[in-house]
Structure 1
Amino acid sequence: MEQRRRETGRNHWYHETQSSRLPDDVVSLVPEAAYVQDRFLLDLAVDDALLAPHRLWLATARKLSALFFPEHLVPNRLNTLSSYDRLSTALTVAQVYGVQRLCNHYAARLTPLPGPDSSRESNRRLTLITQYARQLASQPTLIDSNLRRQLEEAGLSTGDIVAFNQIIGFVGFQARVVAAFQAAMGIPVRWLPGFDIQQDAPMERFHQTPAIWRADFPQYDVPLANERLSERALLCAQQPLLRELAGLLIQDPLALEPFVQLTKQLQPAQDIHPVASLTALVSARINGSVACFNDTAQAWRGDAGLVDAVRNGERALNAWSHHHPAERAVIQATQWLTRAPDRFSETHLQPLIEQGFSTDQALRLLIWAGFCGWLNRLKLGFGDVA
């Protein structure tokens, strides 16, 4: 099970997979972090002027947080993920990204929960869950058919796997939103040395032809669903970003409607739409989602050389952006937020402001970058290009 390690400076959120029981005397260093009123921004004191344009989608994000991490949960045959499974996954992902506010919160909520029994089967299941969550968060392209099959062999239903991938994507999005708001308010960054920055996916992935995304799990037969579920699936399929995922997302039905709503609410407005597409390209390139990259590239109406530069990696992108200062600021901010949200600061936000973006426009771009990372991980967690 998950056991806190007493390490100076980070024993309040570090955890690892162990077969032994959690000692009674090991407690969260910040227990009050479990009792925040805002389960998404985690009681980050954001200026009202900054917060006002984001209230609608933040309300939806809080709703999703309550669905992914309910106060009381009774697993059943088709939905076996316990509260412990969900919160240990959230802490694993928070640990990868190193945003301390998230680490404190999920560690504090996880600490009092009873862990699974110490049987070999339970220990193997938890080890697989932890390994998968860490890899999808830090190196998404390491997820392959073998790892997905192991989750099924460990007893996770397709509905479990959908919810599990959603939780990983959600916490990654949450980490980047918190980091973006902290940067906008000029809050100093406190990051721990020794944590690696996410490396870009191999360039070779983006030169595959043909590159058609295929799900690695059985998709729900929508015509067999009840009327309410069919309506939700239709709403999902009507969103271009979610169309290919609808048959899978419907298998976590409670989260489906608010997730579709969040997708609609975060769609970039016209004032930032062209550079938001650039943000989506850079996010997909770093995370290795060929499907997301190709979808955005096909709709791109700007300089064709930019798409090729993003595809070919950082050196080509730096050369292209040398004479495009506004796009360069967008690229660099997206890169930092995607690769290392724990290090993202006002220093990375300021070039956007200097290039004429308002603080609100810059925030909306960064929040979109975080959401693109969530979508990238869903595509990589559920399947891959053939």
Structure 2
Amino acid sequence: MMDALVIGAGPAGLMAAETMARAGLRVTVAEAKPSPARKFLMAGKSGLNLTKADPIETFLAAFGADTGPLEPMLRAFGPAETQGWAEGLNQELFTGSTGRVFPKKMKASPLLRSWLARLDGLGVTLHRRWRWDGWDGPEVRIETPNGLVQLNPVVTVLACGGASWARLGSNGAWAAHLPGQTSPFQPANMGFQIAWSDHMRPYMGRAIKGIALYAGDTVSRGEFVLTKHGIEGGGVYEVSRAIRDGAALSIDLMPDVTVDSVRERLTRPRGKISLGNHLRKSLKLTPEKQALLMEFARPLPDDIAPLIKALPIRHAGPMPMDQAISTAGGLRWDTLDDGLMLRDRPGTFAAGEMLDWEAPTGGYLITACLATGLWAGRHAARWTADHGIATAR
């Protein structure tokens, strides 16, 4: 027997499950993959960035146009609450120089193990390889290893994820069960494709540091990496939304030096040394930066100072969506009420990355997934109480 069914065992789904279990509901979680929270675990492989230790107003502003619908949820569960939640799962945390918060163990697996044990103690049942297959009237269809089952929970929370990293479970296939209710998926926090010339081959895999990236009004001082197919990394991800939406990308190779200073240094006599050595000695441009200058600015004009300060980067658009860290698009806000319940299906709620919002990198995505899961779980539990529905307990 069950009172509540959660579809998806990522951070949003597990948070919704815990919230409803603490409210006294008997909760079942259906996870399509053989193990839960696979994308969460993958995020932890490079250091689990849980949140950003910013004041709440600063934290909210990072979501840009998506702040409005998310604001009450993030005010209820923001950076401070995320840290308290992780510490409650016996994870010691530290805050880096940029304000990003990590477990001291850096990985996601210890936190997930502790969380699953707590959920088990609350009576939450987790079924693996249970794949949601839409509805049959009021009943939820689930494909299991033993065949199709149809369930009729009091409340359901959908936490199906976005549409990137399909092998980890987020493939966006759930949108077929909600026709006319979703915005098209788009890659978010992604790299960009570049057809490099042969002279760039020696520099593949190298990081470009000490630069500033510009895309419209968005600026990043982060670094990025040259890859076989283009550019990737935190600095690019920070400006990726603006580029995806049509802004041109340029790079300041010497952001702490004025254009006049660059020009003055370049006018110093170079004698018989090559241009590369002149750039290295006068500007301290690394070989990687010189290679980018040659790639995108040849034939070089007499005055290259403006190009060093604003080098236009030609690209062929975002990397494929399945390679993006996250996605934009998904279940539209106008299809949901203020409690994240589907307007056309009372008793069914939604949470997490499947909602139509977009977060920058830096801990914002995980925090917002937890916040929306908590919000959906609370309103689902409240809905059962407000409607006087008897639950299994």
**TM-score bracket relative to the smaller structure:** under 0.3
Return the TM-score normalized by structure 1: 0.26
Greater fraction of residues in strand:
2
TM (norm. structure 2) is: 0.25
Larger radius of gyration: 2
Indicate the structure with greater helix content: 1
